Chains A and B, each alone.
Chain A
């Protein structure tokens, strides 16, 4: 069964450094998402992406964050200058159709630790 994959599974970085989290969505999916979960807290929406542009973003997704689909398979989340509070599990998701009209399938997550 096709699944969303994410790399790396764990990333440790120093505060102020740039990180890029990578995702490979399911191949025939058209909508892509990033969510994050700070330890012990709810899963929070960051951004959705369709047709090579951001379609929706949350207040969390400020100028320090960016997303890109550099080729036909990868979907990346970049944090330009990491802060301690960016430490969280980051989940990529994809769906065939938009949001709640269709199932969103999640990857296993990347645990980001900012020191």
Chain B
């Protein structure tokens, strides 16, 4: 898989349920970032988790990082219709690189 690939590609759940999205990457990282993109709009930064952190919370968001498996997950609890968006993880292609490399993202649909 490519650097920063999200899984699943699409997820559809009922409002109030929890949504979990996963990200896998290939190289050693300093940190990993999660972003949200509403259809046709800009990228909104959600959470940055550093390589020495295993879990981080922000409101209804919970991010985990497992550097031994080179994977991260984003959990959205008690989902709302407004959470409908695409979610991306972003990592560097090599350690120390400045650029972010995005995957195709997970398209999350919250059904009312």
- Chain A residues engaging chain B, CB cutoff 8 angstroms: 31, 33, 35, 42-45, 48, 55-56, 58, 89, 91, 93, 98-109, 111
Contact = CB atoms under 8 A, between A and B. Distances in A.
Contacts of A35: 100
Contacts of A111: 40
Given A91-B42, A100-B31, A108-B42, A42 B98 contact: no
Contact of A103 (B29, B33, B92): B33
Interface stretch (B59-67, B77-85, B101-109): B101-109
Given A56-B98, A100-B30, A100-B97, A43 B88 contact: yes
Contacts of A107: 42
A45 B33 contact: no
A114 B36 CA distance: 27
B20 to A, nearest CB: 22
Contacts of A45: 99-101
Can you list the 3 inter-chain pairs with the closest CB atoms, starting with the nearest? A99-B98, A45-B99, A108-B42
B43 interface: yes
A20 B35 CA distance: 26
A31 B104 CA distance: 25
Q: How large is the interface on B (under 10, 10 to 19, 20 to 34, 35 or more residues)?
A: 20 to 34
Interface of B: 29-31, 33, 35, 40-45, 48, 88, 90-92, 96-105
B44 A106 contact: yes
A108 B40 CA distance: 9
B42 A98 contact: no
B42 A101 contact: no
Given A99-B92, A103-B33, A104-B45, A42 B102 contact: yes
